[in-house]
Amino acid sequence: MTDVRELTYLDAIAEALLVEMGRDPDVLVMGNDVGGSFGGAFKVTKRVSDEFGPHRVKNMPMTELAFVGAANGMALMGLRPVIEVQFADFISTAFDSIVQYAATTHYRWGGSVPWVIRAPSDGGIRSGPFHSQNPEAWFVHTPGLKVVAPATPADAKGLLLAAIRDNNPVVYFEAKPLYRSLRGPVPEGDEATPIGVARIAREGSDITIITYGSTVHDSLRAAHEVGNEGISVEVIDLRSLKPMDTDTVLESVAKTGRALVVHAANRMAGVGAEIAAIIAEKAFADLDAPVRRLGGLDIPIPFSPPLEDAYRVSPGDIAAQLRELVSW
């Protein structure tokens, strides 16, 4: 039996790195400020840097396009680099190396590019327009990439193990507001959470919320709140955005007849748009109400507390939508 203890979301990520680097000498960490005694802007790589040193935890100059490109070459040679882009917002500087080279290589000539990019994403921590973004839709739109977004410490560990072992480029969005605020049970050992399998975070019968990342927790709060009013909400934590477990979504919607999609990223052409379209195309006959989406506003993410709060989806926003949809 695997022992289960509670870890923070951040420590669960660090534990996955420790486990996998211990297991596989081909795994290494690279990124800005990840190494030395510093161990990363958020200290995620502090323990691996202490344990494995500069040969396997490599500080990079501020050249994301080049060092993700270098990770492409390392991966083609059979290494498994785990890259930290300091903030998900900065991933745009590495765009060509990700979407043009890494994503197309296996399809074009059969080269396998098994890297992971860890992208600390999401806001609510007063970090302004360039340290708060959720750019997952860019990568979900790109054939050849896989995209995951764990919501719990257990999945933060399990999905990172799976991402490192996957033979494809995987963009791993970790929700930085959860780093130290969320604790949860995390199995010991090295068992991975399979990529492409959603999790029912809460069972219910009246309406389905489809969500991922930090808004899983906002959705659970809202579900609890309206539960007291007699509304039974099922919450699906997608965990993996590409490939996406649409079977679990469609089965749930067939049961509840109502769907609300929630994510922290802005709404326009976000992942929620795809989910809503899939439900409309494949489960129209099951629906008793229109599919609704909640996401950030279509504006750059503002800094000041009242502005950022107005930008973000809140549990109150979710609860209001739930009430409206069940009375449709």
Partner 1 sequence: MSHSLDSSAKLNIAYWMRLTRTLDDAIMAMWKQGRGVGGTFSGKGHEAISVGAGFAMGTDDVVAPMHRDLGCYLVRGLSPDRILANQLGKAEGVTGGRDANLHGLGDLSLNILGFVSHLPQSMPVALGAAMAFQYREEPRVALTFAGDGSSNAGLFHETLNLAAVQNAPLIVVVENNQYAYSTPIHEQMAIDDIVVRAAAHGVAGEIVDGNDVVAVYDAVLEAATRARRGEGPSLIEAKTMRMLGHAIHDGAEYVPRSLLSEWKERDPVTRWEERLVEEGLLTPETLARLQEECRDEVEAAIEYAERAPLPDAAGITTGVYAP
Binding site for partner 1 (CB under 8 A): 28, 55, 60-61, 63, 65-79, 96-97, 100-101, 104-114, 143-144, 146, 167-168
Nearest approach, Cβ of residue 213 and partner 1 (Å): 23
Which residues is 172 bridged to in the sheet? 118, 148
Half-sphere exposure of 296 (CA within 13 A, CB side): 25
Pick the closer one to partner 1 by CB: 110 or 306.
110
- 52 token code pair: 């494995």
Pick the closer one to partner 1 by CB: 7 or 195.
195
First CA to last CA distance, the chain: 47
Cβ-proximal residues to 148 (8 Å cutoff; 6+ apart), any chain? 159, 162, 163, 170, 171, 172, 173, 195, 239, 240, 241
Pick the closer one to partner 1 by CB: 73 or 305.
73
Half-sphere exposure of 141 (CA within 13 A, CB side): 11
Q: What does the CA dihedral 62, 72, 167, 137 come to, rounded to 10 degrees?
A: 60
Nearest approach, Cβ of residue 48 and partner 1 (Å): 16
Locus of tokens 């990124």: 31
Nearest approach, Cβ of residue 116 and partner 1 (Å): 14
Active site residue 106: no
- The active-site residue, picked from 55, 106, 131, 141, is 131
d(CA 84, CA 93) in angstroms, rounded, equals: 13
Pick the closer one to partner 1 by CB: 143 or 306.
143
Nearest approach, Cβ of residue 72 and partner 1 (Å): 5
d(CA 322, CA 225) in angstroms, rounded, equals: 10
For every residue of 263-304, which 3-state class applies, written as one string? EEEECCCCHHHHHHHHHHHHCHHHCCCCCEEEEECCCCCCCC
CA-closest candidate to residue 113, choices 162, 167, 68: 167
Nearest approach, Cβ of residue 56 and partner 1 (Å): 8
d(CA 220, CA 309) in angstroms, rounded, equals: 19
Pick the closer one to partner 1 by CB: 97 or 219.
97
Nearest approach, Cβ of residue 61 and partner 1 (Å): 6
d(CA 139, CA 209) in angstroms, rounded, equals: 23
Pick the closer one to partner 1 by CB: 26 or 190.
26
Please give the positions annotated as active site. 131
